[in-house]
Structure 1
Amino acid sequence: MNSSPDEYNNFSLSRFESMLKTNNVLFFDSGEFEEIIQHYLENGKIALAKKAVKLGLEQHPTSTNLKLFQVEMFIFENELDTAEELLDSLEPLEQSNEEIYIQKANILSRRDEHKKAIRLLHKALEITSDEADVLSLIGMEYLFIEDFENAKQNFMRCLEQDEEDYSALYNIIYCFDYLEQHEAAIDYLNDYLNKNPYCEVAWHQVGKQYTNLEEFNKALAAFDFAIISDDSFIGAYLEKGKVLEKLRRYTEAIESYTITLGLDEPTSFALLRIGKCYEKLGNSELALKFYNKCVEEDALLDKGWIAITDFYYKKKNYQKALYYIDKAINIDSENVLYWKRYAKINNRLNLFEEAEHGFRRSIELGNYELETWLARADILLQLGEFEAAINNLHQAAEFYPESAEIEYRLAGVHYLLNEDDKGRYHLKNALKFEPEYALIIEEIFPSIYDRKSVRELIKNQQNPSL
């Protein structure tokens, strides 16, 4: 009885791995080594692939294909000069081998010489028997230099060669999206669907394009066709749920998300969205149940912790909100969204030192929104930390040099410190930027606002003709 190719390959692989364990040297023909190396590369076992290349070349030192695998190993390990030297030695002997040009292009791509890489790939395209692979590589090079139009054209040619190359289809749609050509993307996908009417991936992409155009009913129809084409297609159910949410059809959205929970392991995204839908429907108990399931499924998903925290914050249950945001910070202390909430919750609880710490951490982690600077300044003022408040406001002014809200606060704090000249300087600046915001002085610094000289300055700047 004849053996199948898979049985033959498995036998070669078993013999090879047995050889590695026993240190007995067994002979393999070059084709067997190529199959073994390819298997290891496809499964991410680079060390074993490298060992197979070495042993293969010891037994078949003149094999071009094994040398090309060696080139691949050199490139993977970023030994680009060594790889290039080996390719240069092979090129005169293998001028009709497209793999020479492909690997040379790979080296140029690693060196960010993408236009040169494209020229070499076009040489490979002239002699290859597998145009789709080379066209895909050319498309990727165009993506690297953000030439999305040429990238799109090459991926389209690739898909013409192989209509089931969904990675090419995704890349085509990526280009359409980047170029904001949503209607053109729909036209292209419809042409593709005329030839492949049960392609769930294409229907899914049509739905996403209609979602981008806010044509939600058409999007729903497309996602339904994707589901008809493949009723286990999780992505279509998730996208359908998102559109139903936009249409405020929350009960139907829950149904769509719930189906995904039975198709595979529950995703934290689906659990979160179900919780959000229940919250919109006013079912607090089920909303919390699914938020908790979400963070149990994926403790690193910040949206889950934020959803629970915001839920309690909106209910004015600040102690519970603080409990959950503390848990979140213990898991990820570098998340600026957590620290902003930590600060706001503590501020609501009149825990001003903790609130100041939260706003300071937010700034340290790169949150330079004006609201954050001002909130921290106001807390520092409440704590009597006037110099720290001034430093904070000056830092804020570097980002917002014409902010009246910063200038009014600087004016007030300098007046409090009896630095009247500085106070007057900043008050004039503030009145020049936004005279109607003068109530900031009245609200935050009432004792300063009561000064006759300050009120006269405000009045004169607001009504210069008087």
Structure 2
Amino acid sequence: MEEEFEFDYSEDPKFSVERYEEMIRNHDQYFFDAQAFENIIDYYIEKNDPAKALQVVEYARSQHPFASVFLVKQAQLLVVTNRIGDALAALDKAELLEAGEADIYIIRGNLFENMERYSEALENYERALDLAEETDDILLHIAYVYQNMGDYDTAITYLKLCLQQNMENQDALYELAFCYDVMDNQEESVQFYMQYIDNEPYSYAAWYNLGNAYTKLSLFEKAIDAYDYAILIKDSFASAYFNKGNALVNLEKYAEAIEVYRQTFEYEQPNADTYCAIGECYEKLEQMDEARSFYKKAVKMDPKLGDAWFGIGVTLDFEERFFEALHFYKKALDLDIANADYWFAIADAEYKLGHMPEAESAYEKVVELNPIDVDAWLDYSSILYEQERLHDAIEVIAEAIKNNPDSAELYYRMVAYLFAKGEYSEAMNHLEMALAADPDKHYILFDYLPQLQKNKVILDIINRYAR
């Protein structure tokens, strides 16, 4: 016959666990108060042993059948073990026992959110708002639901409410930046973070997000100032160093950017993206050995980083090692087949190697992927012109103009090709269009056909448009 003992273990959680495990070993039946059971359940949760925690819940429920807390704990554990239906059933029972328990509605809201049953998730979160003492995390979850529904305006409203409740909620700060980013509303983002910083000047996350908003507005000097404040407040903030480095790159301050990128290594393990960024800075400084060294470090760390393979190719191309460059460009392309920049570099390398059909094919791919790349259209037509395929060159430029009707360079190139083909009347029509688009670029025509500088008719037309 089993004996039943009663102990009060709520004062010492460790003692509660020991006595519980002794009870299981001895197949006895001890009585524990509700707090002791909570301590034992939490112990197994912390040890990442949901099966044992659920076993404790069963004992707790048998001894305290009217305590809703154990049904709530059970629901949480059933979620962890992916028994969603059982979790919802446990929450329903808990609600019958204690309808005013906020955790019931928070957990149920989480479940419905994960199941993409958004209206039911919102209904539960709104109920939890009325019951909970601290509501910032609930407001954050409501914002997540509206984000998932594509309603970023309402998400922003709830994120701001969340931050009013708790100005230190970092997740809300970052989510707010994300929402402004999706809506492409960086001006409002800047305005919000500046107001926020007035109240919370030591929030490194707010300064960091302000820097990101300035970066997206191409206000790189202001971005650097904001990142500097973030770093001043939290000197180990590696992301702020990295983004400051990116802003310096945009200002073409490559040597400074390298130093800032290197500072990230003091606070986090070096990663492939940072090695690649340093490589690109050395490439811009035309220090190709250094650049190649960092690109190689990047691909060693992440062989799937296409930009690093591409960067190795660029350094070889610069040294006129076109055949080797082509090999690395193709490795990059294997990782991102639809990257127009990779195709452009391949086209150029094939051309330099004298592989005209391959170059032509690659240029065709570039303009298909990025039809607004005027330089690609010009280069594509140029290799056709060099092969005396004037008709094809003119067709390519005509297609380029369709896609880029405001590009004066294309009209001037068309004029050159039409003159070369002897179609003077059509050439004059295009010259008028070119001059109307941008009269200052008429030199392009003479670069291609210098003999036209002596053509009085053309000079007269140009002078009419000259400013």
Question: Is the TM-score greater than 0.5?
Answer: yes
1:36 alignment counterpart: 43
1:122 alignment counterpart: 126
| CA pair 143-343 structure 1, distance change in 2 beyond 3 A | same
2:325 alignment counterpart: 321
2:98 alignment counterpart: 94
**Cα distance in 2, alignment partners of residues 304 and 243 from structure 1:** 20
Aligned residue identity for 1:32: N
- Partner of 2:197, secondary structure, is helix
2:212 alignment counterpart: 208
- Deviation, structure 1 residue 361: 11
**Cα distance in 1, alignment partners of residues 38 and 164 from structure 2:** 31
1:232 alignment counterpart: 236
Aligned residue identity for 1:198: Y
Matching of residue 184 in structure 1 with residue 188 in structure 2: yes
**Cα distance in 2, alignment partners of residues 118 and 182 from structure 1:** 28
Q: How does 1:69-80 map to 2 (within 5 A)?
A: 69-75=73-79, 79-80=83-84
Question: Deviation string for 1:203-234 (max 9, x for gaps)?
Answer: 11111122222222222211111121122211
Matching of residue 282 in structure 1 with residue 286 in structure 2: yes
Aligned residue identity for 2:37: S
- Partner of 1:231, secondary structure, is coil
1:57 alignment counterpart: 57
Q: 84-93 or 138-147, which moves further after superposition?
A: 84-93
| CA pair 212-336 structure 1, distance change in 2 beyond 3 A | closer
- Partner of 1:116, secondary structure, is helix
1:266 equivalent among 258, 261, 270: 270
Q: Is the 8 A contact 2:13 2:39 kept in 1?
A: no
| CA pair 367-67 structure 1, distance change in 2 beyond 3 A | farther
Aligned residue identity for 2:306: D
Unpaired runs of at least 5, structure 1:
380-402, 407-433, 444-448, 450-454
| CA pair 346-57 structure 1, distance change in 2 beyond 3 A | same
**Cα distance in 1, alignment partners of residues 185 and 372 from structure 2:** 35
- Deviation, structure 1 residue 143: 0.9
Matching of residue 113 in structure 1 with residue 117 in structure 2: yes
2:259 alignment counterpart: 255
- Partner of 1:60, secondary structure, is helix
1:297 equivalent among 301, 325, 332: 301
Q: Is the 8 A contact 1:132 1:158 kept in 2?
A: yes
Aligned residue identity for 2:266: G
| CA pair 314-117 structure 1, distance change in 2 beyond 3 A | same
- Partner of 2:96, secondary structure, is coil
2:6 alignment counterpart: none
- Please tell me the root mean square deviation across aligned C-alpha atoms, in Å: 4.9
1:194 alignment counterpart: 198
| CA pair 88-441 structure 1, distance change in 2 beyond 3 A | farther
Q: How does 1:339-350 map to 2 (within 5 A)?
A: 345=349, 349=353
| CA pair 441-189 structure 1, distance change in 2 beyond 3 A | closer
Aligned residue identity for 1:57: V
**Cα distance in 2, alignment partners of residues 333 and 23 from structure 1:** 63
1:394 alignment counterpart: none
1:399 alignment counterpart: none
1:219 alignment counterpart: 223
| CA pair 336-207 structure 1, distance change in 2 beyond 3 A | closer
- Deviation, structure 1 residue 126: 0.4
Q: How does 1:397-408 map to 2 (within 5 A)?
A: none
Aligned residue identity for 1:153: T
Aligned residue identity for 1:122: E
Q: How does 1:430-445 map to 2 (within 5 A)?
A: none
**Cα distance in 2, alignment partners of residues 309 and 103 from structure 1:** 52
- Deviation, structure 1 residue 348: 5.2
What TM-score does the superposition give when structure 1 sets the normalisation length? Answer: 0.67
2:165 alignment counterpart: 161
- Partner of 1:92, secondary structure, is helix
Q: 28-37 or 263-272, which moves further after superposition?
A: 28-37
**Cα distance in 1, alignment partners of residues 39 and 366 from structure 2:** 58
Q: 227-236 or 345-354, which moves further after superposition?
A: 345-354
What TM-score does the superposition give when structure 2 sets the normalisation length? Answer: 0.67
- Deviation, structure 1 residue 346: 5.2
**Cα distance in 2, alignment partners of residues 208 and 180 from structure 1:** 12
Q: Percent identity?
A: 26
**Cα distance in 1, alignment partners of residues 134 and 79 from structure 2:** 22
Question: Deviation string for 1:131-170 (max 9, x for gaps)?
Answer: 1121111111111112112211212222222222100111
Q: Is the 8 A contact 1:56 1:66 kept in 2?
A: no
Aligned residue identity for 1:120: N
